[in-house]
């Protein structure tokens, strides 16, 4: 069961191509949006949105790394990359507002976010379970234990699929909140709002590509386990 299989790349090709296109779109719209002025820096925009929502206890901090922006629900803090934190641009306020959108979701107990957060341990350990059980199950495929072990491996990968699927509405909702609030609060003008939408929509496609990737990986291994093996393998 363990060998170089061209069929794997046939299964995965749509996700790989989509991810390459999405990443190219992200970098293009990111740089283009950095040239469009906004009224506040990313950090100031995030702070303003949080304060308007009554979330003065949520911090805004500087993070290291490119596109390392995220909201940490445990520490209740937004961490923004250096460009986003300091720059007064459509890209910066769009990304910052997106992360502020996650803080608003957390405060309002947005159901998909609560489910996603609860699924984090399963998504974290699922790949380890999958890899270990797949290897052991493959080695013992002729024994009575082989089948159950391979099914367990598939279940581990299924945890990752579930996490990625429930993550989609979380990310899209945060982006929708960002687009609406930036316009409502006058942080961007109509022209800059178009650039914000372009950046956040491009980022949304990377989440779609990541979800498609793990779904197709699941489909490949399900095919190999249930129907794709010949009797002499």
Q: How far is 11 from 1, CA to CA, in rounded Å?
A: 16
Which residues lie closer than 8 Å to 164 by C-beta, 6 or more apart? 123, 207, 210, 211, 214, 215
Q: With the C-alpha atoms ordered 167, 169, 170, 172, is the resulting torsion angle positive or negative?
A: positive
Catalytic residues: 99
Yes or no: say if 11 and 219 are a contact pair by the CB < 8 Å rule.
yes
Q: How far is 195 from 193, CA to CA, in rounded Å?
A: 5
Q: How far is 43 from 92, CA to CA, in rounded Å?
A: 8
Q: How far is 90 from 29, CA to CA, in rounded Å?
A: 10
């Amino acid at each position: 069961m363990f060998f170089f299989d061209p069929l794997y790349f046939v299964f995965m090709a749509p996700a790989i191509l989509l991810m390459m296109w999405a990443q190219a779109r992200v970098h293009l719209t990111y740089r283009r949006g950095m040239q469009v002025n906004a009224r506040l820096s990313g950090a100031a925009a995030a702070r303003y949105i949080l304060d308007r929502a009554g979330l003065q206890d949520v911090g805004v901090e500087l993070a290291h790394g490119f596109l390392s922006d995220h909201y940490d629900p445990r520490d209740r803090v937004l961490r923004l990359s250096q460009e986003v934190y300091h720059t007064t641009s459509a890209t910066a306020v769009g990304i910052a507002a997106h992360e502020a959108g996650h803080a608003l979701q957390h405060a309002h107990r947005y159901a998909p976010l609560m489910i996603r957060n609860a699924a984090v341990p399963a998504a974290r350990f699922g790949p380890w379970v999958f890899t270990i059980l797949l290897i052991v199950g493959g080695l013992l495929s002729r024994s009575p234990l082989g089948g159950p072990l391979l099914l367990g491996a598939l279940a581990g990968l299924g945890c990752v699929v579930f996490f990625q699927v429930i993550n989609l509405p979380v990310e899209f909702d945060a982006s929708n909140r960002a687009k609406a609030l930036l316009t409502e609060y006058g942080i961007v003008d109509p022209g800059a709002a178009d650039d914000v939408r372009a950046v956040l929509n491009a980022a949304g496609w990377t989440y779609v590509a990541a979800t498609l990737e793990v779904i197709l990986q699941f489909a490949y291994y399900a095919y190999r386990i249930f129907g794709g093996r010949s009797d002499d393998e």
